[in-house]
Amino acid sequence: MQDALKNLIGLSRAELALELEAIGEEPFRARQLWHWMYWRGETDFARMTTLAKGLRERLAAHFRIARPAIKIEQTSADRTRKWLLRFEDGNEAETVFIPEDDRGALCISSQVGCTLTCKFCHTGTQKLVRNLTAAEIVGQMMVARDSYGEWPAPKSERMLSNIVMMGMGEPLFNFDNVAKALAIVMDGEGLSVSKRKITLSTAGVVPMIPRVGAELGVNLAVSLHAVRDELRDILVPINKKYPIAELMKACRDYPGANNARRITFEYVMLKDVNDSPSDAHELVRLVRGIPAKVNLIPFNAWPRAPYQCSTTEAIDRFQKIVNDAGYSAPVRTPRGRDIMAACGQLRSESVRLGRAAKATAETPAAG
């Protein structure tokens, strides 16, 4: 049966070599296989023409190269694209691509659901949670590459140029799988996305932050959202475990942060909750001395959300205070709201279709 075959996606180079050895092949063939899988995006061993025919047949007898199944693919009026993916155990998660003119960021999930229960985030209302495997994390990138036909594409011509670990879940609660997946994604003979084009966002799992810098070397984003512990305890409950002072210390010590590589502080704008001038001044005080930029995120609503988005005046006022203190603070344009693909709207327990959305494909399980 097809599904009994081992999926090669998500294995490290060393593990791939071991698999080849286990079926009596030369481990150095792993390099050629890697090229076909991650540079060319090939899923059919028979088409791997640089491998001897016998090897292709033996590979096909033992292994498969599988993506997560696309349950729904939707494209927003603003061209943002969202995939609801179904994994082999039936669990689901969402991946979003946010295109700019000639490039774009793929927003990848690290967990099915999320345990953080941040009060303003839709994903936090989902009950079922498990970590995604490295194969499932890399698989999200492969699905997007398939969808945009970017196998193989020179770096300068790729729409899928950047990755943000900002989808469902807390990546630092699933560090090992995220690290393994990112090593595959960054490999220069494969998917080849440079660490400078990858950003990992955390709600503040403080003990893991140094490892992001030291072991992954990617850009760090921190979901701050409140500048006083009393409020942050409510909005981002992990704050009770790792309060603001500890979080800021970890940011201050973040390996590799400098003026060319700033830490992004994400700040969701909630009407009359965290958007006062005094909040803005306190934010500036907190980040002082850290190579930082601030990303102001207009709150994206979801069914029965307990908050509203700040007014434009409040956002402008907040932004000006941060700018005047010398920090860049762009307001993140909401993307894909019509298909519930914007920040904090992802949820995979039930399927909702936004009014302006159109389902562009509905394919049965392919795995």
Residues that bind ligand SAH (CB under 6 A): 116, 118, 120-121, 166, 170, 201-203, 223, 225, 266, 268, 297, 299-300, 343-344
- Is 343 a known active-site residue? yes
Q: Position of tokens 């670990």?
A: 165
Smaller CB separation from ligand SAH, 8 or 329: 329
Tell me how crowded residue 122 is: count the other CB atoms within 10 A of its CB: 22
What contacts 105, CB < 8 A, 6 or more positions away? 97, 98, 161, 162, 163, 164
Smaller CB separation from ligand SAH, 144 or 268: 268
Catalytic residue among 19, 94, 136, 266: 94
Query: In angstroms, what is the minimal distance from the CB of 52 to ligand SAH?
Result: 44
Distances 288 to 87, 246, 284 between C-alpha atoms, Å: 43, 15, 6
Query: In angstroms, what is the minimal distance from the CB of 269 to ligand SAH?
Result: 8
Query: In angstroms, what is the minimal distance from the CB of 201 to ligand SAH?
Result: 4
- 130 token code pair: 């498990």
What residue number has its CB nearest to ligand SAH? Answer: 344
Smaller CB separation from ligand SAH, 30 or 342: 342
What contacts 258, CB < 8 A, 6 or more positions away? 291
Query: In angstroms, what is the minimal distance from the CB of 176 to ligand SAH?
Result: 17
Please check whether residue 25 is in contact with residue 58, taking contact to mean a CB–CB distance below 8 angstroms.
Answer: yes
Smaller CB separation from ligand SAH, 91 or 295: 295
Residues marked active site are found at 94, 343
